[in-house]
Amino acid sequence: MTDERTPHPFKAERFKAFVDAVVAIAMTLLILPLLESVSEAATEQLGTAEFLVEHSGQLLSFGLSFVLIAAFWMEHHRMYSRVEGMTGPLLWINAGWLLTIVWLPVPTAMLGQMEGDAVQAVLYIGTLILTQVTTLAAKLYLLRHPELHDFPADELRHGALGDVAAIILFAIALPIAAWVHPIGYYALLLIALTGPVTRILTRLPR
């Protein structure tokens, strides 16, 4: 029976293993549309170079989403490596995070195979924003529950500001990707400015 006095009734290790498995599956799903395209190219007797040119959009969208999911997972892993226990609310916050990760292969496939439009950009970059929002929500929850982890509060606050900076940059990239077609999804390169924007945010009044 669970001791009601324990501050973290759910074991963190089992949760981390579950997250790793879900993320691994999501990253694997990204490659499936390309595998189908290879079969179609073989049927059409396309050469390797022709395949690479014809499906360059798919290849780029796969690489982009793979890198983004990997970055999200590494940040998640760093944070939860110092979390000792889980509560119901924190599990639900992470369920929301996992939902965005599992959903990302769908707009990735759209990005690689369909004509670009504003709705597609909203689905793709909107998913990235929600991933970052749930990451921020987890950090804010951990700030209010120091008994669950051994993070210094300042380190968590700095990480939360980094999440806010990323959300701002993704939000700026979204309308550019949706409506400024010569630039399009290259606007996601703005995320490289997360560090400088975070430093600006740290200088603002608390």
pLDDT in tens, 88-113: 999 999 999 999 999 999 999 999 88
pLDDT at residue 129 tops 80: yes
pLDDT in tens, 67-82: 999 999 999 999 999 9
pLDDT at residue 7 tops 70: no
* pTM attached to this predicted model: 0.90
Q: How far is CA 194 from CA 14, 64, 87, 104, 140, in A?
A: 31, 17, 30, 21, 19
